Structures are given as C-alpha cells and as structure tokens.
Amino acid sequence: MTVQIRSRWRYRRLLAIFWRNTLATEMEYRVNFWSNLVLSTFWLGWAALGIRVYFRFTTSVRGWTYAEMLIVVGLFFALNGVRQALITPNLARMTEYVRDGTLDFLLTKPVNSQFMVSFRHIGVFNWLDPVLGLILAFTGLIATDQPVTVGSIALFLGAFLCAIVILYAVSLAMMSLSLRSVSSEGVDDLLQGLVETSRLPVQIYRGALRTVFSVVLPVALFTTVPTQVALGQRGAAWVALAAGVAIVANVVASALWRVALRGYTGASG
Amino acid sequence: MIEVEGLARHFRVSHRDAGLGSSLKALLHRRYELVRAVDDVSFRIDDGEVVGFLGPNGAGKTTTLKCLAGLLYPTHGTVRVLGFTPNERRAEFLSRITFVMGQRNQLFWDLPTIESLRVNQAIYRIGDTQFKESLDELVDLLGLEPLLTKQVRMLSLGERMRCELAAGLLHRPDVLFLDEPTLGLDVRGQGAVRSFIAEYNQRHGATVLLTSHYMADVTSLAKRVVLIDHGVLRYDGDLADLVEQAAPFRLVTVTLSDPVESGVFAGYGEVIESDGTHAVMRVPRAATRDVASRLLAELPVVDVSIEEPSIEDTMRTVFDQRATDAVSVDAARE
Amino acid sequence: MPPVSERIVIWRSLMRVGFGQALAYRGQVAIFLLTALFPLVMMTVWLSVVEEVGPTAGWDRQGFISYYAVGAVVFQLTTSSIAWRWDDLVRTGELSSLLLRPVSPLTQQVGLEVGQRVLSAALLVPVLVVATIALPDLSVSGSVMNLILGVVALGGGYALTTAMALTFAMVAFWSTQSGNLYALWWGAGAFLAGWIAPVSVLPPGLRRAAAILPFRSTVGLPIELILGRLDTAQIVVGMATLAGWLAAFTVAVRVLWSRGIKRHQAVGG
C-alpha cells in the first residue's frame, strides 16, 4: 500500500517536472503566448458563428436549436482544446521518438511506458481552450432557459470528464498504431478528424454514418450525450454508461499499447 | 581563393534566468546583450589548400563559416570567396561551394538516398553524363552502393553522413566548408570521411576549410590551421610551427632503478610530476638532447623517453594563456 | 535565372520528391482519404435543413451534394501548409540548408508541395468521377468549357492560396507570429471562401465582402465553375478577381522575400 502511494506520488512529481519544463521552453517565445490567446478567442467565435449560417433559414435543425447547438460546439471546443493541449503534443512526437531513438531511451526508464509517452509534453497555448469552450457551453445552456441545478451540472461535467477519458483511450490506441509504419502526424490528423465530427450533434448525421458515430465510434459520447444530460433529456444512467465505456476503452487501449510495444521491441534491431 | 579581411559579426541576444518565475517575467520584459561572435578575423586561403579551423565551443567558427557561405552578412569587414561576395548569394557562387554541417540533414528523410541526389542534380543543373561520372566516383570513394536505394531514415549515422557528403559534393564544388563532418561518428566512420576528404582534395584540387572537435581530423588533413577564440584570430600558420611556437618544449620522462631525492630532477628541467624513481619534465626544445645525455650519464636510468606535447595540450595552453587577457568573456553564439 | 527548360527539370524533380514523400507511408494515404471526406459533414447539415424547410438561396438537395462532393476535392487541392512549414524552417535553421543551393528556397518548398497536390488529385479525382457516374444526386452539369475553366481556376486558386501563404510566411523573418497571423487570415477567409457554405447562402454583408476579397477565388469559384452555376458575366468577373489578387500577392511575396532574406542574413541564420 505504501509502495503504491509512494509511486503515485512519484508520477505526480514527474508530471510536474515534465510540464514545468515545457512551460518554461514555450514561454521563451513570449509573443506566442499573447497571440495564442487572441487566436483561441478567434476560433471560439469562429465555431459559434460558423453554425449560425444554418439558422438563417430555420430555427431548428433535426430538433436542435441554435442555443442547444452552442452547448455542443462549446463542448467540442473544450474537448478539442484538451486534445491539442494534452494529446497532440505527445502523439505527434511518436514518429520522432522512434526516429531518433528517444523511445528506446524512454523504455529504459523505470516508469510505466504508457505514462511516459502519453504525458511527457503539454501544449501550453491551448490550456485556455477548455475554459473558453465550457464558458460557451454554459452560455448556450443559459440561453436555452433550461432549469439548471447543481445536480444537473455535476452530471453534465461528469459526462464530459468521461468524454475526455475516452478520447485519451482512443489516442493511446492510435499511438500504438503509429508504432507501425504510420507517421504519427497523420494519426493526429485522424484523431482530429474524429473529434471534428463531434462539432455537431450526432442527430445531424443520417443512415449508416449515424450508426457508426453512435455505436461503433464513441463520437456521440464526446459532446452529444453530455449536452443531452445538461438539457435533462438523458439521465444519470447515460453518465454511468459513459463511465463504463471509458473504463473498457482504457483497458483495451492499454492492452493494445503493450502488444504494439512488444512488436516494436521485437522488430527493431 | 578565400579572402577574409577584418571580419566582424555581432549579434543581439536575449537573456533570461532559469526558472518559471523569470520566464513569466520575460513574457513582459526582456534584456538584450550584444555578443561579438566574430570580432576581428583576417586570413587568406589559396586554391587547393586544406585548412583546419580550430577553437573551443562558441569561439566563432560556425559564424565565420556562415559568413563565408553567404548565410550571414558581416557586421564589418569584407569576405571574398572565388571572387564573389558571398552574401549576394549569386547562383554561380552557390554552385561552386558546399557547406556540409555534421548535425544537419539535407536529405529527404522518407525517400531513398538516390532521390535526394537526383533533386540535387536538377538544382545544380548537372548534366546526365557528368551526374553519372560524379555519382560513380562518390559511390566508389564513399562505398555508397548499398545505401542509394535505402530510405534515409533507415541509415545509420555514419551511413547518413556519407550520403550527406555525396549530396553536398555531387556538383563538384571548388570550395568545401565542412562544419564538424565527423561529429558523432565512430572511429571507422571518422576514418572513412577523413580519407574521402583528402582524396577529393587531391583529385579535384578543391579548397577545404574544416572545423572539427577531433584533433585527428585536423592533423591528418590540414597542414595549416587557423585558431580562433572569442571571435579573434589567435594563430594562422603551419600546424607544426604552432606546436613549436606555443609549446617550445618537449616532455622528457625518466624511470630510474634506484630512488633519488626529488629535488634532483629540478636540475634538468621543469618538473611536472615525480616520485623517487619516476619523473616527467618539461625541457626546452633546444636543450633536449643535452639534458637526455646528462640524465643518462649522471643518474641510474632504466628508461628515458622524449615526446612532443599533444596537440590537445598545446591548444589548451594557447587558449588558457589568451583567455586571461581576453577582453570579451561573452559566450559567443555559434 | 535558369532557362525555362532547366526550370522545368527542377520543378519536375521537386514534384516527384513531393509526390514520393506523400506516398512514403501507406497509412498516411488512407488517413488522407478519410480526412478528405470531412466536408461531407457540413453537407449533411444542409441536407437536414433542406429537408425541413426546402431549398435555401437557390441550393436544393442535389445542389448541396454536388457542391460538397466537388468541394471535397477542391478543398484539398487549393490548400497550402507552407506558412506553417516556413515557420519551422526558420526556427530550426533548416532554411540555411535550402539557402545554400542555387535555387530559391521558395521554389524548393512550393515544388515539393505541388508534387503532393498532384498525388491528392490522382487519388481524389477518380473517386469523384466514379461518384458522379454512380450517384444520381451528384451532377456536374457544366459544359466542357466550364470544366476547363474550372480546372484553370483550380490551378489559379492553388497559386493564389500559395501566394497568400507565402506572403504570411515571409513575416517569419520579422516575427515568430507568421503562422498565427496566417491562421487568422485563413480563419476569416474560410467564411468567405465558400468553405463553410456556398457563398450565396451567406448573409448579404458577407456576400459583398466575399465578392471583393481574394478568398472566394480559391474555393467557391472553381467549384461553382465546375458545377456550371455561373453565367458568363460572373465567370469574367470571377476570373479577373482571381488574376488581380494573384498578381498582387505575387508582387508582395517577391518584395517581402528580397527584404526578408537580407534581414535573415543580418540577424543570423
């Protein structure tokens, strides 16, 4: 037990060290810091206004009003921000790791390899995106005149947290993939594409695509379900389902990573 | 022909202390400092010469090379290479030089080496016959045969460096700027690069200016060295003369059969280390023979040896001497 | 400046390498094909709108399907990543290697990218042709003349995007913000280019802006030409706008390049 606590401590300290280094390095470019702030706000407005065009001709698309869709867009923005801040900086480096031998170096560390490749870097300039996205989501929520309670907000945030954890699992699975003959920049494009599809509620999609996005891929759980939870259209059972999916996805992704790693250490000379 | 006259190159560099607090502070305010990477350098290199360009890290070697290759404007002074002013970056000039940087990769990473060479053929406008001839020669000298069709990312560091050299020399340049061409290579790799450079210089009479951390590169390739430290020229001339001039002594090592009092050695030279039966002394060059025969005559000598001080030691002596009276102590930018 | 025949040789060999690079990872190609489908998401939203309220601003179901199908190809062909890449080239010092060669680094970079676009076209155009034949809702009703003009506009559109991207790329010589500035420019342009939606469904103010600014020439113009939705007067005005902006940005790139390279030699490479 004490060993476990101590090791948990160690991981937390490692994180602090990794991220502080990144912060310091990135802040070298001071103008970047400010301009990225401007850029984040710009893209948020872009996302909110981009879907406005549809509502020039109608008040609701597939049962979604503009205010409701703003919640989805806000969550998308927040989730995409998490992707850019936490996932991409690590995912995009996988090819480089393999290329310059850093991966071998990481594997020799007495620390869980999955942890090392997943959390070594952060993108400091998107840290505000999740905050901005959530602000937009709450703005949308207030605009819907939906009664907001502490309970509904807790469920909503819980559902969104599950979305983040699921996204992490997907990215880890993709990282495992990029150990094999795929450039990880491309894998990041794919992940971005997947998150992009959650910019809009899944009800927008039709036919087979909708089935794929709601059943096969966890797109519905990214933004649509949390929004519906906030709107009171879906209950706690859905949050529990999301949590279940998050756990299973992580177990599977972790296993995939180990398999890929075995293939990697076996193949490289 | 390379002519450098009063070359100076200064940079403005921002400063910040370590730690998160100061990086936050630096977001708002930043301090700058003037760094004289190269301050006053003049030299002249004739066609076909091989010159070693030496100096500690940050001495200004790379900056000088960049001025010679036209990547940087001189702050003061003039530079002429093959009759051109490098910073004008005329195509005729660029077609006659090459600048190979040991740490930089100009090959297309995901493609077989031959593709990069073909692109260089087009870019340097090399005719098909000349391309073939040049390529055959490089393949022969660098042992590229098995590497040409391999993807660059699959090559080892040594193999990649050989391919880099091939890409850099395909157009048969008259002037070669080589910045640490053997960096990170193993002994065999270093040897291969070295003998290639020597061979290329012999065959084509090319002028070579090379920097290296490995003294063996310089001693085996260059008769002449240019020493630069803190942006200032310290020495320009024969490598052998440098040793003579900077270290006008030899090292005499004696081993005795019976111990003597340690004070005894002081009568023969400057003692560097000694115990009763063993001593190393610095002896003025001219007196070496004299001292050796006196040692043999006067002491119970088992063994005596006379050595030249190593180039590394000599260089260290030169730089240590000058560092104390150097005006600028800035870490120059490479 | 080398004679034309030698310039052709240079461009051809650069394009071949760009083509080869894009093909180097098979996984990457598959991912590219998937991400190219992304505009179809926007299409589904419009199909929902049309289904609920009928044709909008002259665009019916068939119109939107055709617009986004052709758009999916045009988006990929008239895009440029050179502004971001240039940022890296300057920051990592890789530009120095390019500067040592007797051909402009601009040519070297653009040549590679054109090669990639050729590969994109080779992958996407056949898919579009097959889809046009197979799907009754997808109709390209322009005349042969329209099609030819559309292809010309496509080439011009790529040239204009590249010229705009390079103009911003040159800013990298003075500021580290060139990539971000270009992102703002691109983001603002996406509304007016026909990327988010056909220009004619935008509000009147944006429509007027789109007619004057360069963006529509890079996306909306080639799509609508290929679809045969423009009359002669519109075609003439559209092509003239494209040519005018292309000339303006080409001059801008030349001026900024010659100044920028002097500055680069002055501050250090």
Q: What is the mean pLDDT of each run of 10 residues along chain C (269 residues)?
A: 84 93 81 82 89 91 94 94 87 88 94 94 94 87 87 96 96 85 90 91 94 95 94 95 98 96 80
Give the other-Cβ count within 10 Å of C206's Cβ.
Answer: 15
| Banded model confidence at residue A268, pLDDT cuts 50, 70, 90 | very low
How far are the Cα atoms of A27, A201, A210, B69 from residue A222, in angstroms, in the given order? 31, 10, 14, 54
Average pLDDT, stretch B178-206?
A: 90
Task: Select the residue of C47, C56, C183 nearest A57 (Cβ to Cβ).
Answer: C56
Q: For the stretch C74-88, what's the b/e string if a residue is b when 16 or more beta carbons lie within 10 angstroms of its beta carbon?
A: bbbbbbbebbbbbbe
Q: What is the domain partition of chain B in residue ranges?
A: 248-308
> What range does the domain containing C253 cover?
4-267
Q: Which chains touch A (3 or more CB pairs under 8 A)?
A: B, C
- Is-contact C137 C222, C-beta < 8 A? no
Inform me whether the C-beta atom of residue C12 falls under 8 Å from chain B C-beta atoms. yes
Take residue B111 and report the two structure tokens written for it.
């493609």
How far are the Cα atoms of B56, B230, B322 from residue B329, in angstroms, in the given order? 13, 7, 11
pLDDT for res B18: 57
pLDDT for res B259: 85
- Chain C partners within 8 Å of B11 (Cβ): 267-268
Inform me whether the C-beta atom of residue B32 falls under 8 Å from chain C C-beta atoms. no
pLDDT for res A181: 58
Average pLDDT, stretch A191-210?
A: 86
How far are the Cα atoms of A13, A118, A267 from residue A4, in angstroms, in the given order? 14, 20, 33
| Banded model confidence at residue A249, pLDDT cuts 50, 70, 90 | very high
- Chain C partners within 8 Å of B92 (Cβ): 102
Q: What is the pLDDT of residues B53-74, one digit of tens each?
A: 988 888 889 999 999 999 999 9
Inform me whether the C-beta atom of residue B30 falls under 8 Å from chain A C-beta atoms. yes
- Residue B125, SS3 per DSSP: coil
Structural domains counted in chain C: 1
Q: What is the pLDDT of residues B101-147, one digit of tens each?
A: 877 778 998 899 999 999 999 999 999 999 999 999 999 999 999 99
Residue B262's H or E segment, with its range, is none
* Four-CA torsion A198, A200, A206, A211, nearest 10 degrees: 30
Give the other-Cβ count within 10 Å of B106's Cβ.
Answer: 20
Question: For residue A121, what are the contacts with CB-CB under 8 A and spacing of at least 6?
Answer: A18, A22, A89, A90, A93
> What range does the domain containing A17 cover?
2-267
pLDDT for res A178: 76
For residue B247, is pLDDT > 90? no
B-C CB pairs within 8 A amount to 85
From A50's Cα to the closest Cα of chain C, the distance in A is 7
- Is-contact A184 A45, C-beta < 8 A? no
pLDDT for res C100: 93
Q: Could you give the CA distance from residue C263 to residue A12 in angstroms, rounded to a whole number?
A: 45
Across chain A, mean pLDDT equals 84
- Is-contact B55 B48, C-beta < 8 A? no
For residue B32, is pLDDT > 80? no
Strand duo A60-61 + A64-65: pairing: antiparallel
Give the other-Cβ count within 10 Å of B92's Cβ.
Answer: 10
pLDDT for res B209: 96
pLDDT for res B328: 36
Contact B119 C24 (CB under 8 A): no
Q: Could you give the CA distance from residue B284 to residue B302 in angstroms, rounded to a whole number?
A: 22
- One-letter-per-residue 3-state SS of A174-224: HHHHHCCCCCHHHHHHHHHHHHHHHHCCHHHCCHHHHHHHHHHCCHHHHHH
pLDDT for res C211: 93
Could you tell me how far CA A191 lies from the centroid of its own chain?
A: 9
DSSP label at residue A148: -
Take residue C44 and report the two structure tokens written for it.
């589904």
Average pLDDT, stretch B187-216?
A: 90
Q: What is the pLDDT of residues A9-58, one digit of tens each?
A: 777 787 777 777 766 666 666 666 777 888 899 999 999 998 999 999 99
Q: What is the pLDDT of residues A83-132, one digit of tens each?
A: 988 888 888 777 777 777 777 777 777 777 888 788 877 777 777 899 99
Average pLDDT, stretch B19-25?
A: 61
Is the pLDDT higher at A253 or at C25? A253
Is the pLDDT higher at B312 or at C215? C215
Structural domains counted in chain A: 1
Q: Could you give the CA distance from residue B97 to residue B168 in angstroms, rounded to a whole number?
A: 9
Inform me whether the C-beta atom of residue A181 falls under 8 Å from chain B C-beta atoms. no
Q: Could you give the CA distance from residue C216 to residue C77 in angstroms, rounded to a whole number?
A: 14
Residue B176's beta-bridge partner residues? B98, B208
Q: Could you give the CA distance from residue B226 to residue B237 in angstroms, rounded to a whole number?
A: 7
Inform me whether the C-beta atom of residue A268 falls under 8 Å from chain B C-beta atoms. no
DSSP label at residue C54: -
Task: Select the residue of C103, C266, C267 nearest B123 (Cβ to Cβ).
Answer: C103
Average pLDDT, stretch B16-39?
A: 70
pLDDT for res B299: 87
Number of H helices, E strands in chain C: 13, 0
- Is-contact A162 A221, C-beta < 8 A? yes
pLDDT for res A184: 64
For residue B46, is pLDDT > 80? yes
Complex-level ipTM beyond the 0.90 threshold: no
pLDDT for res B332: 35
Q: Could you give the CA distance from residue C48 to residue A207 in angstroms, rounded to a whole number?
A: 12
Contact A31 C175 (CB under 8 A): yes
Q: Does domain B248-308 have CATH number 2.30.30?
A: no
Task: Select the residue of A23, A27, A99 nearest B153 (Cβ to Cβ).
Answer: A99
